[in-house]
Structure 1
Amino acid sequence: MTPPLYTASVPVFLHYLDRARILVHACHGRPDLLEARLAPDMFHAAQQFASAAGFSLRGTLPLVGQPVPEFPAAAMDHEGLMGRLRFARDTLDALDPADFEGAEIREIPHRAGFAELIQSGSDYLHLFAMPNFMFHLSMGFAVLRQGGLDIGKSDFDALHDYPPGFRF
C-alpha cells in the first residue's frame, strides 16, 4: 500500500505543476502578464508560480527527511519559470513512495513567515505546505485572468468542463 502522505502530496503537486506549466506557457509572448500583480504589495505572477514550485518541494522533501534543494538560478521570465517547474517536477518524480513511510508522525521544524514552527508531517502537509502551494498557484492564476488571459476553472484544475463562451 502506498503511504498516505505520498498519495496526498506527490501526485497532487505533479498534477498542479503541470497546470502551472500550461498557464505559464499561455503567457509566452506576454511578459507583461508575468510581471503583473493583484495589489502593489503582492508578488507578481512570475513569483507566485515560482513560489508554488518551491512549495511543491518544500512540502514533500522534509516528509522524507531530505533537504530542500536550491532551484537553479533562472530569470523570472517564461523560460526561467518553465525551468523551475521542470526542476520541481523532476525532483518529485525521483522520490520513492516507500520513503514516506511514517512521515505522518515525523516532526517537521520550519518557518512560516517569521514564525518558527514544529508540526507533525501530517499537519505540515495538510495545514501548511499544501495550502501555501495552492495559494501561490491561485494568485498566479488570478493575476493572469485579471490581465486578460482567457482562462477559467478548467484551465486551473483540468477537471471542470464548461461549454465554449460560458461565463458566470
Structure 2
Amino acid sequence: MANQEINEIKRIFTSRLDVLEHILSIGEQHVADADALMQERLAEDMHPFGTQIAFVCNQPRGFAQWCADQPIENFGAEVGSLAQARAHIAATKEMIAGITADDSKLDEVKHLGLGPGRFADLPARQYINDFLMPNVYFHISMAYAILRKLGAPIGKADYMTFLAPYVQVEA
C-alpha cells in the first residue's frame, strides 16, 4: 500500500487529538469557569492550558501543511476560550483527514526552523519521530498535568484512551 506509513501517522495524530478532546471535556466538567481554565499553568514560566492545546494542534497541522508543500502556519499561542480550543482541534482533524501525500513524502528532508538562527534538516521519518510526536505527547501531558494540579479526577486511563478498543478482560 502506497500510503501505509502516512495513514498510520494520520491515525496516531487523530487518536491523540481525541485524547486532547477527552482531557478538555474533563476540564470543562471540573472547572467552574472553563474559559478561565485556558489561562491555568503548572508554573509561572510555563505556557498556560490554552497554549498547550494550540501547541498539540500545531504538530499535526504543520505535518499536514508540509505534506501539501504549503508553508507552515501555526495557531497562535493565545487560546482564550473553550470554543476556540475545540475549534482548533476540529480544524486540525480536518487537515489531517485531508492529507493526500503518499509514503514517498517520507523520503524527503524536512527543514525545521528552531528559532532565530537555528534549524535542523532532518529526514522526514526522524522529523516525525524525534520532533513531532514528542511535542504532541509533551503538550498533551502538560494539559493533563494542569488538570491534575487543579484537582480534576483524571488518570492514566484518560491519557491512554486510544488503547481502549484493544483492552480485553480475562475470563
TM bracket, shorter-chain basis: 0.7 to 0.9
Q: Distance in 2 between matches of 1:79 and 1:140?
A: 16
Higher helix share: 2
Aligned ranges 1:1-168 → 2 under 5 Å: 1-28=1-28, 29-31=32-34, 32-69=36-73, 71=75, 75-96=79-100, 99-114=101-116, 115-158=118-161, 159=163
Q: Distance in 2 between matches of 1:108 and 1:145?
A: 36
Q: Distance in 2 between matches of 1:100 and 1:138?
A: 30
Give the direction of change, closer, same or farther, for the CA distance of 1:113–1:8 in structure 2 (3 Å limit).
Answer: farther
The unaligned stretches of length 5 or more in structure 1 are 162-168
User: What is the root-mean-square deviation in Å for CA atoms of aligned residues?
Assistant: 2.3
Deviates more, 1:138-147 or 1:1-10: 1-10
TM-score (norm 2): 0.81
Give the direction of change, closer, same or farther, for the CA distance of 1:75–1:133 in structure 2 (3 Å limit).
Answer: closer
Is 1:63–1:106's contact at 8 Å kept on the other side of the alignment? no
Equivalent residues, number: 159
Is 1:103–1:122's contact at 8 Å kept on the other side of the alignment? no
Is 2:51–2:79's contact at 8 Å kept on the other side of the alignment? no
The unaligned stretches of length 5 or more in structure 2 are none
* Identity within the alignment, %: 22
Deviates more, 1:112-121 or 1:49-58: 112-121
Give the direction of change, closer, same or farther, for the CA distance of 1:56–1:12 in structure 2 (3 Å limit).
Answer: same
Give the direction of change, closer, same or farther, for the CA distance of 1:75–1:22 in structure 2 (3 Å limit).
Answer: same
Is 1:49–1:136's contact at 8 Å kept on the other side of the alignment? yes
Q: Distance in 2 between matches of 1:87 and 1:148?
A: 29
SS at match of 1:148: coil
Q: Distance in 1 between matches of 2:9 and 2:115?
A: 22
Is 2:64–2:95's contact at 8 Å kept on the other side of the alignment? no
Amino acid at match of 1:149: A
Using the TM superposition, give the Cα deviation of residue 156 of structure 1 relative to its aligned residue in structure 2, in angstroms.
Answer: 1.0
SS at match of 1:27: helix
TM-score (norm 1): 0.83
The CA deviation string for residues 97-127 of structure 1, in whole angstroms up to 9 with x for no partner, is xx13212221111212442111111111111
SS at match of 2:106: coil
The CA deviation string for residues 46-79 of structure 1, in whole angstroms up to 9 with x for no partner, is 110111011111134324533334549x842111
Using the TM superposition, give the Cα deviation of residue 85 of structure 1 relative to its aligned residue in structure 2, in angstroms.
Answer: 0.4
The CA deviation string for residues 119-150 of structure 1, in whole angstroms up to 9 with x for no partner, is 11111111111111111111111111111111
